[in-house]
Structure 1
Amino acid sequence: MGVSGCGKTTIGKLLADSLCWKFHDADTFHSPANIAKMQLGIPLNDADRMPWLEDLQDYIKSWLQENKNVVLACSALKASYRQILLCDSRIQLVYIQGSFDVIQDRLRKRQNHFMGEKLLKSQFNDLEEPDNAIFVDVAEAPEVIVEKIRKALRIYGS
């Protein structure tokens, strides 16, 4: 979890690949209306997000029921969103934490994504840092972050 541009997709893919797990990006589950809104620089509100969060919860429950190991990259900015998503004790939250300036610089360099730097301030405004998460620093190299996550999860080796 974390704000747009913190590296959720990059870290998530690397982590999933290193564990031979499936990877999913929650952004791909957004409705066309939500994506259009974000492309216009309009922040989503709770009403916009609720169907998306409920769909994600359904997928998470399905993956758990099928005993599928999955890394899901999702902003999950508010505690109320995480209450919906963390629907089982087997789920472990990883928070990719970073400063506004570092992440804004990353977003300026990113291309071909519907979430631009214009919405970063609204993401930081909505962000409620979690209490129960593995905290990693966005400024570290992705490979270092993945190893720290694996260590925290007590998953070693390839």
Structure 2
Amino acid sequence: MSIHVVVMGVAGCGKSTVAEAIRDQLGFVMAEGDDFHPKANIDKMSAGIPLTDEDRWPWLRVINTWMVAREALGQNTVVSSSALKRSYRDLLRENVDVFFVHLAGSQELIYSRLAARKDHFMPPSLLASQFATLQPLEADENGVVVSVEGTIDEVVSQAVDAVKAYQARKAEAPAAAQVKTAA
């Protein structure tokens, strides 16, 4: 069974950087969630207009379909996606087991990082709407919260370690089931 990781959080929290590190260090197939947005969504965000649920549903469905297809190929994946609401995460995990890495930090810190970014369609003015929409991971959701308050190396290390631990738990589960069956 494959591992599917969604690195989630508001714009500017470091999703792409962490997803790239998981790809590079663990050999996962990576997709940049922003690449799945239709042009209309990019145009809307570029104009400083927050996306609605209706804008997001088709985008999230495409990401889910991509992960399900990689599951059929036996590939481990990592995707960067805001996944701000529980309902969005529910859609992302349809027909595939997903481990969420929620990159969390203060609005002030993330705003300063977002304001320093160059050549990205997401203006810092939309950050407040993302924080207003954000529903943190709930206790029954498969995932971990990683603080972005430290250095990028610290954040990456915590995220990669969490994915490795999840991978180890998943590897142990079938072995434990086989032992019970043999007994």
Distance in structure 1 (CA, Å) of the matches to 2:52 and 2:96? 28
Asked if the contact 1:137/1:145 (under 8 Å) is kept, the reply is yes
**5+ long unaligned stretches in structure 1:** none
Distance in structure 1 (CA, Å) of the matches to 2:96 and 2:65? 16
Q: Considering Cα pairs closer than 8 Å and 6+ residues apart, tell me whether 1 or 2 has the greater RCO.
A: 1
TM-score norm. by structure 2 comes to 0.81
> Aligned pair count?
156
Asked if the contact 1:14/1:143 (under 8 Å) is kept, the reply is no
Distance in structure 1 (CA, Å) of the matches to 2:151 and 2:31? 21
1:68 and 2:75 matched? yes
Percent of aligned positions with the same letter in both sequences?
Answer: 37
CA shift at 1:104, angstroms? 0.4
**5+ long unaligned stretches in structure 2:** 1-7, 169-183
TM-score norm. by structure 1 comes to 0.93
| CA RMSD in angstroms, aligned pairs only | 1.5
Structure exhibiting the larger radius of gyration computed from Cα positions:
2
* Secondary structure of residue in 1 paired with 2:99: coil
* Secondary structure of residue in 2 paired with 1:93: strand
Distance in structure 1 (CA, Å) of the matches to 2:86 and 2:70? 22
The aligned amino acid for 2:132 is: N
Which of 18, 21, 36 pairs up with 1:14? Answer: 21
The aligned amino acid for 1:8 is: K
Mapping of residues 6-155 of structure 1, within 5 Å: 6-88=13-95, 90-131=97-138, 132=141, 133-153=143-163, 154=165
Distance in structure 1 (CA, Å) of the matches to 2:44 and 2:73? 34
